[in-house]
Amino acid sequence: MKRTFLLVLQACVLATLASSALAAEKLVFGIALEPYPPFSFKSGKGDWSGFEPEIITAVCARMQADCSLSEMSWDGLIPALKSQQVDVVLNSVTITPERQQVIDFTQPYFYTRALWVGDRSLELEPTPAGLKGKIIGVQGSTTHAAFVKKYYGETSTIRYYTTQDDLLSDLRSGRIDIILADQLVLEPLLDMPDNAILGSKGVAPLDPLFGEGVGAGVRKGNDALRERLNVALQSLRADGSYEKIRERYFKSGIATSSAEPTADVGH
């Protein structure tokens, strides 16, 4: 009788575990193929690492969701979300009015200013007059590209790049004169030996084109998922988990809106 009871109990436990596994929500997060350290990059074993993959893992644990990553080009992330190829994009997508017309966002989970970088030996004033006739490099389909096109498009030549690596390579070789990109990404790179000839040329002024911070994107009208993501992100902040992840990639706090001070990451 005891053996029969134990077998029945074991079967019930296994059935409960199986039921829980089947009930776990499956979510696909879109992530850009192009490495974007320290936010997202692949380890030597081919696994995704970085600030945002860690945030995705932590958020999914709080939501008790079974999550996977789908790799694609940066400019394909929002189209993939709209066409239901992925469920969430948590990959450094800035909240802007234009993007809010086609997808919905969670509350911001970080904010970064835009930084000008060029040859440290050259005097470059990053104003439309100061960069007249110069070649400016930016990553395509970004807020930086929109900013440069609006304010510098009539006086400078603009070159658009798919990856950050190609952008920096052309800057080091002198094929472009200056670039504009995320401050939190560029400042650590300026400390690397390969970029010794490069230096900061100043932070771009705050502008509506740079958006309201970076949020996780979901399809229009998917309020239930958006709110669950918001609750999970707030939970990570409340118990200190967010800060523990942040400390592994940034030397100081990262602001969550354009009204907060930008992070000083030491360069």
The residue ranges of every structural domain in the chain are: 24-111+212-247, 114-210
pLDDT at 16 over 70: no
- The two domains 24-111+212-247 and 114-210 share their CATH topology (first three levels equal): yes
Segment 202-226 shows an average pLDDT of: 96
The amino acid present at 224, given as its one-letter code, is: A
Is 0.85 topped by the overall pTM?
A: no
Q: Which one of 3.90.320.10, 3.40.190.10, 3.60.15.10, 3.30.420.40 gives the CATH number of domain 24-111+212-247? A: 3.40.190.10
Report the side by side order of strands in the sheet with 25-32.
65-72, 25-32, 88-89, 217-219, 103-105
Q: If pLDDT is split at 50, 70 and 90, which confidence band does 18 have? A: very low
Whether residue 35 has a cis bond before it, omega within 30° of 0: no
**pLDDT number for residue 112:** 87
Reported as a single tens digit per residue, the pLDDT across 34-53 is: 999 999 999 888 999 999 99
Strand-pair partners of 103: 219
**pLDDT number for residue 61:** 98
* Separation CA 226–CA 232 (nearest Å): 10
Q: What is the CATH number of domain 114-210?
A: 3.40.190.10
